[in-house]
């Protein structure tokens, strides 16, 4: 079976070859030329478009993998840092607690020392005051003895000078006592 095709430029009818190629309406020369053109374009695209595109995609995939690995490493490092931070905080809290307890202990010791020193000073002041009171009492007693002795001597002199009767003795003693009270 032969089919006729009109060539658009010449207006002449051409016959298509018979067979499968003819049934599809393909001309062998044009088909081969198109096939060669296709192969040339395929080689050019393969060499200058497909390979660089594949390389860019592979590089991008490698960067993404590296980014994911880096993100995992950062996550692990962050976790380690958080653990270290928590441990440091725990250590700092324990140290602060120890320092506070130590400060309380030192403060308590200082307070006890101050109390003991205050008690000692108070005791010394009381002892000194008692000694001073005892000394003043002794001085007063000594002074009183001297005055009483002088009074007794004066009274005895008066009594001996005027030894008349018991009434007069009593009056002289009373007079001497009144004299010493002034």
pLDDT tens for each residue of 119-139:
999 999 999 999 999 999 999
- Residue 62's contacts (CB-CB under 8 Å, 6 or more residues apart) are none
Q: Count the domains in the chain.
A: 1
Would you state the pLDDT for residue 1? 39
pTM: 0.39
Name which of 142, 145, 178, 172 is nearest 157 in CA terms.
172
Please name which of 51, 45, 46, 1 lies closest in space to residue 23, comparing C-alpha atoms. 1
Where residue 96 falls (left for φ over 0; alpha for ψ -120 to 50; beta otherwise) is alpha
Lowest mean pLDDT among 50-59, 109-118, 144-153: 144-153
What's the mean per-residue pLDDT of the chain?
Answer: 83
- The predicted-structure confidence for 59-74, as pLDDT tens digits, reads as follows 999 999 999 999 999 9
Least confident of 50-54, 60-64, 178-182: 178-182
- Decide if 136 contacts 153 (C-beta within 8 A): no
Q: For residue 69, what are the domain limits?
A: 4-181
When mean pLDDT is compared across 97-106, 110-119, 150-159, the lowest value belongs to: 150-159
pLDDT number for residue 124? 93
Confidence band for 99, pLDDT divided at 50, 70 and 90 = very high
The Cα–Cα gap between 61 and 157 comes to: 139
């Amino acid at each position: 079976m032969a089919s006729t095709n009109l060539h658009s430029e010449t207006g002449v009818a051409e016959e298509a070859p018979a067979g499968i190629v003819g049934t599809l309406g393909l001309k062998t020369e044009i088909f081969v030329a198109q096939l060669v053109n296709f192969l040339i374009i395929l080689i050019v695209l393969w060499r200058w478009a497909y390979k660089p595109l594949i390389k860019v995609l592979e590089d991008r995939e490698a960067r993404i993998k590296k980014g994911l690995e880096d993100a995992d490493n950062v996550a692990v490092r962050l976790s380690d840092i958080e653990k270290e931070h928590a441990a440091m905080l725990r250590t700092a809290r324990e140290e602060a607690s120890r320092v506070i307890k130590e400060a309380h202990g030192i403060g308590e010791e200082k307070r006890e020392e101050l109390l003991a020193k205050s008690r000692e000073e108070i005791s010394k002041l009381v002892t000194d005051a008692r000694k001073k009171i005892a000394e003043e009492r002794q001085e007063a007693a000594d002074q009183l003895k001297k005055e009483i002795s002088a009074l007794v001597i004066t009274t005895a002199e008066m009594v001996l000078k005027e030894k008349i009767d018991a009434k007069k003795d009593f009056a002289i003693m009373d007079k001497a006592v009144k004299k010493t009270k002034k």
